[in-house]
Structure 1
Amino acid sequence: MKVLISVDMEGVSGIVHPSETNPDRYDYERGRALMTAEANAVVAGVLDAEPTATVWVADAHGPFRNMLPEELDRRAHLVRGKPRPLGMLGGLDERTDAVLLIGYHTRAGGGPAVLAHTMSDAILDVRVAGRSFGEIGLNAAMAGHLGVPVVLLSGDDNACAELRDLVPSATTVAVKQALGQAAAVALHPEVARERLRQAAADAVRRRAQVSPLTITGPLDVEVDIYSPVTVDLATLIPGVSRAEGSRTVTFTATDFADAYGLVLLLVQLATIKPG
């Protein structure tokens, strides 16, 4: 069997502040070490349950170059760097049997929650068929489009609730209780890793009991964007329109894969500054 572990950073135990998640800030090295250690705990749990599994680990935070390759469990395959197909789900395909979302965070506007946002600070909201989706929902539905269930998520308590609302049968591990955007009560990292290892093993064993999140098309998509310049660029894409009098762009996607890909493109457009 093949398992994909997608690892973000904001939902890792002990992390509460951008200084711990930003490569240009002073506490980033501690953050990336904590992130790598949680990934290792989950790899170990998957292999406790399925010793012959092929395990892929997708570095899914920011530049996708955060985890320390030399410190990662040598039994795992590391997906690193960007841009790449399927973004945070790099390595996902129809042969994947289960996806585990580790260190994830709540969508923009979903607080109080630690470091809540959606893809980047440039995206204020993504609505698919009228429902608001953050990274948890977008990635769960993209996996579901390929018939793959998300069986485990870890993060703060609000991130866990966000997945359970979408996939009630999934396993969740709250490694911290959110007090606000940059504050939480966190488990000791070693305790968090112990719980993650056990939860990963349990989730993989019961993967057949978790249904993929399936959203069928065509789909009307609305994306609220912070910068007017990004809205201007987005309207250059065929099929993308500006909602009158707002910073919202809209488009119709044939299926969720098309919606997901275009949202990833909008995130990248937001990095372009006026010439």
Structure 2
Amino acid sequence: MKVLISVDMEGIAGIVHPAETTPERYDYERGRALMTAAANAVVEGVLEADPAAEVLVADAHGPYRNLLPEHLDRRVRLIRGKPRELGMLAGLQTGVQAAMFVGYHARAGVAGAVLAHTMTDAVLDVRINGASHGEIGINTLLAASFGVPVVLASGDDAACAEFSTLVPQAVTVPVKRGLGQHAADTLHPDEACERLRHGASQAARQPAGHPPLAVPSPLRVEVDLAQPRSADLAGLIPGATVGGRTVAFDAETMTAAYGILQLIVALTQTGP
């Protein structure tokens, strides 16, 4: 079995503030260590269930250069750095049979969720054929477009609930309860890692029992942006239309839609 573990940072136990997730902020190194320990726990669970599994770990937070390579389980291959095809799920196109989301967070605007956002703080909402999705939904659809089921998700309680509405039969591992954007009631990191190991082992034993989510086609994607100038820039993308702060475009596949979403995010981060 080949497994892709996509690791974000905001949904890791103990993490509640951008100072812990942003390079060069005072607590970032601690956040990196907690993120790497959580990734290792999931790897351990997968290999406990299937010692012959091939495991890819995709660093999926911010610059995609957060996990500490020298402290990561040596039995895995690490995918890091950006830009890259398929972004948070890079490696999906290599024959992966199951995906796992670790350290994920709820979509922008979810009340009480820790560090909730969608791809960047500059994006207020993403709708695919009318349904609002955060990174959890977008990435679940992207995985499904490759025929890959997402068999586990972890993060705060809001992130796990968001995932369960899409894939109710999959394993979820809540590691903290959100008390606000920058506050949580969190498990001890060691306890969280133990639950992640157990959840990953359980999920890896039954990947065939989690069929991929159905992917609509064609796709109508609408992105609400915080800044009108970002919408103006995104409107220069061929085929995109702009109405106020909303950029809309059509795509035949999730891969194409995901690529355009990555480009829109990049445009929101350009200077004046």
The question of a shared fold, defined as TM-score above 0.5 by the shorter chain, is answered with yes
Q: What does residue 9 of structure 1 align with?
A: 9
Is 1:214 matched up with 2:239? no
Q: What does residue 203 of structure 1 align with?
A: 203
Q: Deviations over 1:151-187 (max 9, x none)?
A: 0000000000000000111100000011110100101
Question: Aligned ranges for residues 62-211 of structure 1 at < 5 Å?
Answer: 62-93=62-93, 95-211=95-211
Q: In structure 2, give the amino acid aligned to 1:197.
A: R
SS at structure 2 position matched to 1:176: strand
Q: What does residue 269 of structure 2 align with?
A: 271
SS at structure 2 position matched to 1:140: helix
CA distance in structure 1 between the aligned counterparts of 2:99 and 2:214, rounded to whole angstroms:
14
Q: In structure 2, give the amino acid aligned to 1:131.
A: A
CA distance in structure 2 between the aligned counterparts of 1:70 and 1:252, rounded to whole angstroms:
42
SS at structure 1 position matched to 2:124: strand
Q: Deviations over 1:196-232 (max 9, x none)?
A: 0010010011111111122121111110011222111
Q: In structure 1, give the amino acid aligned to 2:245.
A: R
Q: Deviations over 1:71-95 (max 9, x none)?
A: 0000010000000010000111261
Is 1:232 matched up with 2:232? yes
Q: Give the 4+ runs in structure 1 shifted more than 2 A.
A: none
CA distance in structure 2 between the aligned counterparts of 1:213 and 1:112, rounded to whole angstroms:
27
Q: In structure 2, give the amino acid aligned to 1:218.
A: P
Q: What does residue 19 of structure 1 align with?
A: 19
Identity of aligned residues (%): 61
| TM-score (norm: length of structure 1) | 0.97
CA distance in structure 2 between the aligned counterparts of 1:28 and 1:216, rounded to whole angstroms:
39
- Are the counterparts in 2 of residues 94 and 148 from structure 1 also a CA contact under 8 Å? no
Number of equivalenced pairs: 272
- The runs of 5 or more residues in structure 2 that have no matched partner are none
- The runs of 5 or more residues in structure 1 that have no matched partner are none
CA distance in structure 1 between the aligned counterparts of 2:121 and 2:55, rounded to whole angstroms:
31
- Are the counterparts in 2 of residues 6 and 88 from structure 1 also a CA contact under 8 Å? yes
SS at structure 2 position matched to 1:132: strand
Q: What does residue 51 of structure 1 align with?
A: 51
Q: Which moved more, 1:97-106 or 1:252-261?
A: 252-261
